[in-house]
Chain A
Amino acid sequence: MKAKIIVTPKKAVLDPQGKTVANALEQMGYKGIGDVHVGKYLEIELPAGDRESWRKQLDEACHKILSNPVIEDYQLEIEP
């Protein structure tokens, strides 16, 4: 099994990286794109086992360390 975690800055948080990437895309001629948000992607290899138990544990880990709830949101997916 594999866990896939996407961490993104909260909407209310200034994202200068996203803004800079958006500006660069605009300058390259990609007109009309909206806001860009730069985040992180984590893949965690898991041994076969109880998927729900892993979800519970990794949800906790996302809260505790893999993301900072003050500034970031996360999405957690567990693939078979």
Chain B
Amino acid sequence: MNFAVLQFPASNCDQDALHVVRNVLGHSGRLLWHKEHSLAGFDAVIIPGGFSYGDYLRTGAIARFSPIMQAVQAFAAQGGPVLGICNGFQILCEAGLLPGALIRNRSLQFRCEHVFLKTASREGPFTRQIPEGKLLRLPIAHGEGCYFADDATLEQLQAGRQILWQYVNAAGEPSDQANPNGSLQNIAGVCNLARNVAGLMPHPERASEPLLGCADGRLIFESLISWLQTKLAAAA
């Protein structure tokens, strides 16, 4: 599979994401500067973490108007899988490709720690390889990861089973103590109704090798690869 890893001014997890694609998973990938216009030849898009455009105005607000994001809109509309991680999640929400918004952590603190995630839906490209009931242990590092959406949107997310991951404690319960940023319903990641666009605040690319203390993040990338392989086989 061929992955595009987008690169904005002040992206800082782009190299990590590319490293996982190439060296950990053994697939091909390329960094794509934000001024590029085309995603031709790519099977999937990763929008990595960082502080694109210095987080000026709002996180992700300026990045969403980059030329490459217009290509991402078209790619997503055609069903292409797009995964936004941390700042990538914020950009996808600003772009309207995902519902809701990410605002300042309730504590006002930048939180940098490991969290447990429960996978709330195993449908779609990003969660299918995660064993039923398995909690993912992933790092977070953000100041603006508090997921907000109005009540009507939250109901739609529930109805569409679009909540993919929730912050939980070690027993798998979505408690207040396990919520690092005040996200409504402990939401750590969501997808669109078509399920091909997803975003999450935790960093799977920083936890895809045992050497780094945890390899749970790899399951998310492996889910995507498995989904792409199934799609290709069906098209053949």
Contact = CB atoms under 8 A, between A and B. Distances in A.
A12 B108 CA distance: 18
Given A13-B148, A20-B108, A71 B57 contact: no
Nearest to B149: A70
A12 B101 CA distance: 13
A16 B101 contact: no
Contact of A14 (B62, B65, B150, B182): B182
A70 B58 CA distance: 12
A14 B61 contact: no
Given A65-B57, A66-B57, A71-B103, A16 B108 contact: yes
A31 B70 CA distance: 50
B101 A71 contact: yes
B148 A17 contact: no
Contacts of B182: 14, 16
Interface in B89-106: 93-94, 100-101, 103-106
Give the interface size class of chain B: 20 to 34
Contacts of A16: 104-108, 182
A13 B100 CA distance: 11
A75 interface: no
Given A14-B106, A65-B61, A70 B100 contact: yes
A17 to B, nearest CB: 6
Contact of A71 (B65, B105, B107, B148): B148
A72 to B, nearest CB: 8
Nearest to B93: A70
Contacts of A65: 57, 61-62, 65
Contacts of A9: 103
B89 to A, nearest CB: 14
A14 B57 contact: no
Interface in A33-80: 65-66, 68, 70-71
Contacts of B6: none
Given A65-B65, A70-B148, A13 B103 contact: yes
